[in-house]
């Protein structure tokens, strides 16, 4: 028996072991091989369905005498009454009750139930429909008529009640009664479908005049485009062309400004087209295009183009197509006059037609939309309107005075104090040159340099003067160019190249000296390279060395060191001896080659010393420099000494370092480090020193 301390009060003083639920041990499957007969999921489901027990259904009750029938009816009525008492507002219960009474052929009781249901909710048209159907089904025609009459009186806006009522009268052959019901309905001014049903009813009995009279009332009740079109089609179907035309004309008078007027005009034009009245149809289309807003006339344009293709001549077809697109562009530029892309498309359309007056008019309207802000980004598309205008006047209209005027007005409009467009200045100058007006072109370019100097203007002006061979003007322009932009290395280089091409070596050298003396340059490396190449081409090797030394005073970039060394290595013997008084012998040639090698090594050694002492952190640049030195020594052949460089080459090591971001450590990255020979020796010395210090401490501790 369990001890008292093992019992738990929450478990009724039973032990945990006693309350454990012992589950049966799962049977271990010993044979896992598949059974010889396999069974599918479909078989399992089929067997389960076959073995399922039949549903328990209440037994069928057979009534054999009036007493049992009365008891059954009493019981069912009590059930329905109790149900109604609980859910009085549930219409389906009332309907089931009334239909059950009908099945018992007790029509008075059934009518009583229907009437009680209507007292509860007479606005529910379903009750009226079911009530009337019961009376009709059992051939109580007058009672059904009475129900329909009450229904449409109480619910005149429910179309279904009217349709059912009329259908009953028509099925009974009571056409006059159906017409009378229609008239009662029309007094309530129903929707279009109600009127159309009335018209179809009259047409079924060939009452054309009555139908026409109903159409007249219909278009008065619903003065819409669709109603008038139906009326006109009705007249056309009956062969009354004049009456149909009269309908369309009356509709146009009343609905010309309606939102759906496009449909009316299209239907009217198609009517005239069917009547072979193409001129009338064309007039209708044109009248419609003039009166309907362009945004609502897309279908009208399409129909007009198709009409012109069928009935018009070539000119009429083109006018229709162009007119359609013209109206589209007019609508676009009206909505947003600063959308210059729309103006370009519009102008292109007019140019395809080829009417100069119209093209000029559109250009003038387009350039009148000046950008509201004086910022260049807003003017970049706008300025091309002026350019295209000027090119049109020059090339298509061949009116040179108007072209000149366009350029003049454009240059006057641009706010040159804030920004300018070199393209306009250059196009205006080139136009004057094409007109052989060199003075006018120079005046335009001079104004450009005075008001809004730009690189493009200077370059083009200098190019023009150079083609004309007027060197003094080129020099003056370069001087203006450099006054405006003294830091422009391109201008200095081109000016010096011009002087060199004229064999003015001293002037070119003086220009390079002035350029290198400038406090700020945009691309100094290009200028120094051009200066050095100039001196090399002139054979001034000492001057070249001096230039490299001056450049190294300014920058110690790796490329400068390598370029300097390659220059020394590239000096051939013929270039070296060109300065000698007389031809030297073979020993002298070898000596000169040796000097060339020594100069190259001296440059490399200076570079290596600089990177070792002044910039030890630039290990990769130092490694690249040594590799370049090794290649140069190899290229010297027998004069080279590769071992000089190999002793200085570093070891390439792959290492890892921690990446530190704003949020803290973010992992590690691999990088290449270079270990140079002198660093290895220093590392070894540090290890020996640490070992010696440890040994000394150990000896002292042993003595203590």
Please state, in angstroms and rounded to a whole number, the distance separating the CA atoms of residues 319 and 317. 5
Please state, in angstroms and rounded to a whole number, the distance separating the CA atoms of residues 297 and 287. 12
H helices of 368-399, in order, are 376-379, 382-391
Whether residues 542 and 633 fall in one domain: yes
Mean pLDDT comparison of 74-78, 211-215, 264-268, highest-scoring range: 211-215
Structural domain ending residue among the three candidates 467, 485, 503: 485
For 479-501, write each residue's pLDDT tens digit. 888 788 888 888 888 888 888 88
For residue 279, is pLDDT > 60?
yes
Residue 2: pLDDT band (50, 70, 90) is very low
- Run of H or E including 654: strand 651-661
Q: What total of structural domains would you count in the chain?
A: 3
**Pair of tokens at residue 614:** 């002044």
Residue 438: pLDDT band (50, 70, 90) is confident
For residue 441, is pLDDT > 60?
yes
β-pairing, 664-675 vs 651-661, is antiparallel
Can you tell me the mean pLDDT for 577-588?
A: 50
- Run of H or E including 675: strand 664-675
Model pLDDT, residue 683: 55
Residue 602: pLDDT band (50, 70, 90) is confident
In a domain, 263, yes or no: no
Question: What b/e sequence results for 108-139 when a residue is b if at least 16 CB atoms lie within 10 Å of its CB, and e otherwise?
Answer: ebbbebbeebbeeeeebbebbbbbbebbbeee
The 10 Å Cβ neighbour count of residue 404 is: 19
Q: Which long-range contacts (CB under 8 A, 24 or more apart) does 643-649 make?
A: 644/601, 647/677, 648/608, 648/676, 648/677, 649/623
In a domain, 269, yes or no: no
Mean pLDDT of the chain: 81
**Pair of tokens at residue 371:** 């950008």
Please state, in angstroms and rounded to a whole number, the distance separating the CA atoms of residues 413 and 371. 11
In a domain, 441, yes or no: yes
Model pLDDT, residue 577: 43
Model pLDDT, residue 703: 66
For residue 513, is pLDDT > 90?
no
**Pair of tokens at residue 259:** 């939102």
Classify residue 296 by its DSSP letter: G
Instruction: Mean pLDDT check: name the lowest of 74-78, 462-466, 574-578.
Output: 574-578
Residue 640: pLDDT band (50, 70, 90) is low
In a domain, 223, yes or no: no
Whether residues 463 and 534 fall in one domain: no
Residue 681: pLDDT band (50, 70, 90) is low
Residue 537: pLDDT band (50, 70, 90) is confident
Cα distances from 465 to residues 461, 469, 529, in angstroms, run: 6, 6, 27
Question: How many residues appear in the chain?
Answer: 704
371, 343 contact by CB (below 8 A): no
Helix, coil or strand: residue 665? strand
Whether residues 417 and 537 fall in one domain: no
For 153-211, write each residue's pLDDT tens digit. 999 999 999 999 999 999 999 999 999 999 999 999 999 999 999 999 999 999 999 99
In a domain, 405, yes or no: yes
In a domain, 562, yes or no: yes
For residue 638, is pLDDT > 80?
no
Model pLDDT, residue 685: 53
Model pLDDT, residue 579: 45
In a domain, 256, yes or no: no
Strand partners, 675: 651
Question: What b/e sequence results for 207-240 when a residue is b if at least 16 CB atoms lie within 10 Å of its CB, and e otherwise?
Answer: beebbbebbeebbebbebbebbbbbbebbbeeeb
**Pair of tokens at residue 8:** 């738990």
Can you tell me the mean pLDDT for 426-439?
A: 88
Whether residues 601 and 557 fall in one domain: yes
458, 449 contact by CB (below 8 A): yes
Please state, in angstroms and rounded to a whole number, the distance separating the CA atoms of residues 534 and 516. 14
Whether residues 404 and 465 fall in one domain: yes
Whether residues 643 and 522 fall in one domain: yes
CA angle at residue 510 from 504 to 513, to 5 degrees? Answer: 145
- Run of H or E including 82: helix 66-86
Burial of residue 558 (CB within 10 Å: 0-12, 13-18, 19+) is middle
Please state, in angstroms and rounded to a whole number, the distance separating the CA atoms of residues 96 and 505. 120
For residue 320, is pLDDT > 70?
no
Structural domain ending residue among the three candidates 468, 485, 502: 485
For residue 317, is pLDDT > 50?
yes
- Run of H or E including 524: helix 524-537
Please state, in angstroms and rounded to a whole number, the distance separating the CA atoms of residues 277 and 245. 12
- Which residue segment(s) compose the domain that 406 sits in? 370-485
Instruction: Mean pLDDT check: name the lowest of 240-249, 301-310, 411-420.
Output: 301-310
- Run of H or E including 127: helix 125-137
* Domain CATH for 431: 1.25.40.10
Please state, in angstroms and rounded to a whole number, the distance separating the CA atoms of residues 446 and 434. 18
Nearest residue to 567 (alpha-carbon basis) of 524, 527, 537: 537
- DSSP count for the chain of H helices, then E strands: 36, 2
Nearest residue to 251 (alpha-carbon basis) of 277, 217, 224, 278: 224
**Pair of tokens at residue 616:** 């030890």
Structural domain ending residue among the three candidates 441, 467, 485: 485
Nearest residue to 415 (alpha-carbon basis) of 456, 457, 371: 371
Can you tell me the mean pLDDT for 16-26?
A: 70
In a domain, 129, yes or no: no
Cα distances from 536 to residues 512, 565, 567, in angstroms, run: 14, 14, 9
* Ramachandran angles phi, psi of 266, nearest 5°: -65, -45
Model pLDDT, residue 155: 92
Please state, in angstroms and rounded to a whole number, the distance separating the CA atoms of residues 366 and 385. 7
Whether residues 520 and 630 fall in one domain: yes
Can you tell me the mean pLDDT for 643-647?
A: 70
State what percent of residues in the chain have pLDDT above 70: 87
Instruction: Mean pLDDT check: name the lowest of 109-113, 437-441, 516-520.
Output: 516-520
Please state, in angstroms and rounded to a whole number, the distance separating the CA atoms of residues 163 and 198. 10
Whether residues 440 and 538 fall in one domain: no
Please state, in angstroms and rounded to a whole number, the distance separating the CA atoms of residues 494 and 365. 44
Whether residues 429 and 527 fall in one domain: no
**Pair of tokens at residue 459:** 């370059």
Nearest residue to 147 (alpha-carbon basis) of 157, 163, 136, 139: 136
Strand partners, 286: none
Instruction: Mean pLDDT check: name the lowest of 62-66, 155-159, 257-261, 581-585.
Output: 581-585
Nearest residue to 625 (alpha-carbon basis) of 642, 599, 603: 603
Model pLDDT, residue 278: 79
Whether residues 645 and 687 fall in one domain: no
Whether residues 524 and 645 fall in one domain: yes
Whether residues 522 and 639 fall in one domain: yes
Can you tell me the mean pLDDT for 513-540?
A: 80
For 614-636, write each residue's pLDDT tens digit. 777 777 777 787 777 777 777 77
Question: Is the whole model's pTM more than 0.85, yes or no?
Answer: no
The 10 Å Cβ neighbour count of residue 170 is: 17
Please state, in angstroms and rounded to a whole number, the distance separating the CA atoms of residues 229 and 260. 11
H helices of 368-421, in order, are 376-379, 382-391, 400-413
Nearest residue to 396 (alpha-carbon basis) of 368, 360, 429, 426: 360
Please state, in angstroms and rounded to a whole number, the distance separating the CA atoms of residues 288 and 405. 41
For residue 217, is pLDDT > 70?
yes
Cα distances from 691 to residues 384, 679, 697, 704, in angstroms, run: 82, 19, 10, 20
């Amino acid at each position: 028996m369990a001890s008292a301390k093992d019992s738990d009060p929450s478990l009724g003083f039973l032990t945990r072991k006693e309350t454990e639920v012992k589950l049966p041990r799962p049977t271990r499957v010993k044979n896992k091989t598949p059974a010889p007969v396999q069974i599918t999921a479909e078989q399992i489901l089929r067997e389960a369905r076959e073995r399922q027990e039949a549903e328990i259904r209440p037994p069928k009750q057979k009534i054999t005498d009036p007493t049992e029938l009365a008891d059954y009816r009493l019981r069912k009525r009590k059930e329905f009454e109790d149900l109604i008492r609980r859910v009085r507002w549930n219409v389906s219960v009332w309907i089931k009750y009334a239909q059950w009474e009908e099945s018992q052929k007790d029509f008075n009781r059934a009518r009583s139930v229907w009437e009680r249901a209507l007292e509860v909710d007479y606005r529910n048209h379903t009750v009226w429909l079911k009530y009337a159907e019961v009376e009709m089904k059992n051939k109580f025609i007058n009672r059904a008529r009475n129900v329909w009459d009450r229904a449409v009186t109480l619910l005149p806006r429910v179309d279904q009640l009217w349709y059912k009522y009329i259908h009953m009268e028509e099925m009974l052959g009571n056409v006059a009664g159906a017409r009378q019901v229609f008239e009662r309905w029309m007094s309530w001014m129903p929707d279009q479908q109600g009127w159309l049903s009335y018209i179809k009813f009259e047409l079924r009995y060939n009452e054309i005049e009555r139908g026409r009279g109903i159409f007249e009332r219909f278009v008065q009740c619903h003065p819409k485009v669709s109603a008038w079109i139906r009326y006109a089609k009705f007249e056309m179907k009956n062969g009354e062309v004049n009456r149909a035309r009269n309908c369309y004309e009356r509709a146009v008078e009343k609905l010309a400004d309606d939102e759906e007027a496009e449909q009316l005009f299209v239907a009217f034009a198609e009517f005239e087209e069917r009547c072979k009245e193409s001129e009338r149809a064309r007039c209708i289309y044109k009248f419609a295009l003039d009166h309907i807003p362009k945004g609502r006339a897309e279908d009208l344009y399409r129909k007009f183009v198709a009409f012109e293709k069928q009935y018009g001549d070539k000119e009429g077809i083109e006018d229709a197509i162009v007119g359609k697109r013209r109206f589209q562009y007019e609508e676009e530029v009206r909505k947003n006059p600063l959308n210059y892309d729309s103006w370009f498309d519009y102008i292109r359309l007019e140019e395809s037609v080829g009417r100069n007056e119209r093209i000029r008019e559109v250009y003038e309207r387009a350039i009148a939309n000046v950008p509201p802000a004086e910022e260049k980004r807003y003017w970049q598309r706008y300025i091309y309107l002026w350019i295209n205008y000027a090119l049109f006047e020059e090339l298509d209209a061949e009116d040179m005075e108007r072209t000149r005027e366009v350029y003049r007005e454009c240059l006057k409009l641009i706010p040159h104090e804030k920004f300018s467009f070199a393209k306009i200045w250059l196009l205006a100058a080139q136009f004057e040159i094409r007109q052989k007006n060199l003075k006018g072109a120079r005046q335009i370019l001079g104004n450009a340099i005075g008001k809004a100097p730009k690189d493009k203007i200077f370059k083009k002006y200098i190019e023009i003067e150079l083609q004309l061979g007027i060197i003094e003007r080129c020099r003056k322009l370069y001087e203006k160019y450099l006054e405006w932009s003294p830091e422009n290395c391109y201008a200095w280089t081109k000016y010096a190249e011009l002087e060199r091409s004229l064999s003015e070596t001293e002037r070119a050298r003086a220009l390079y000296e002035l350029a290198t003396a400038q406090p700020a340059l945009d691309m100094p490396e290009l200028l120094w390279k051009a200066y050095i190449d100039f001196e090399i081409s002139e054979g001034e090797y000492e001057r070249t060395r001096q230039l490299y030394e001056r450049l190294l005073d300014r920058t110690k970039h790796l490329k400068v060191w390598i370029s300097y060394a390659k220059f020394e290595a590239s000096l051939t013997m013929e270039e070296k001896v060109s300065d000698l008084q007389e031809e030297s012998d073979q020993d002298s040639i070898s000596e000169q080659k040796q000097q060339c090698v020594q100069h190259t090594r001296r440059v490399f050694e200076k570079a290596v010393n600089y990177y070792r002492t002044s910039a030890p952190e630039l290990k990769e640049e130092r490694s690249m420099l040594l590799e370049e030195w090794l290649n140069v020594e190899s290229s010297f052949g027998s004069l080279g000494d590769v071992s000089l460089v190999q002793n200085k080459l570093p070891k390439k090591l792959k290492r890892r370092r921690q990446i530190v971001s704003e949020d803290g450590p973010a992992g590690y990255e691999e990088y290449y480090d270079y270990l140079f020979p002198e660093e290895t020796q220093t590392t070894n010395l540090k290890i020996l020193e640490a070992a010696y210090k440890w040994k000394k401490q150990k000896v002292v501790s042993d003595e203590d």
